[in-house]
């Protein structure tokens, strides 16, 4: 009886390891992709913020209004 339980546990463990090895590349790829999307998105947000700040300065917009719009934009993202 004990041998039957141990065989079942060993079989389940082998199945788990096989599945983990099969899924590992997919999971790693998904995590790396998500991280890259995050990095590119945050870079784009910073670039847009800089462009907006420059546009405000070129138009000689009031500094307090500039700050308001920039903070409003940051809350929206």
State the greatest distance between any 2 C-alpha atoms of the chain, in Å, as a whole number. 85
Q: Which structural domain range is residue 54 located in? A: 25-77
Classify residue 5: in a domain, yes or no. no
Q: Is residue 10 part of a domain?
A: no
The domain total for the chain is 1
- Banded pLDDT at 6 (limits 50, 70, 90): low
Q: How confident is the model at residue 18 (pLDDT cuts 50, 70, 90)?
A: very high
16 part of a folded domain: no
Flag whether 14 is in a domain: no
Per-residue pLDDT tens digits for 38-76: 999 999 988 988 888 888 889 888 888 888 887 876 666
Is 34 within the bounds of a domain?
yes
Q: Which tops the pLDDT comparison, 76 or 2?
A: 76
Q: Is residue 70 part of a domain?
A: yes
């Amino acid at each position: 009886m004990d041998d039957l339980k141990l065989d079942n546990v060993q079989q389940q463990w082998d199945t788990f390891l096989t599945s983990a090895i099969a899924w590992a590349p997919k999971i790693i790829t998904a995590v790396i992709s998500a991280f890259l999307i995050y990095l590119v998105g945050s870079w784009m947000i910073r670039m847009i913020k800089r462009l907006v700040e420059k546009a405000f300065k070129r138009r000689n917009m009031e500094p307090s209004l500039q700050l308001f719009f920039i903070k409003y934009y940051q809350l929206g993202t």
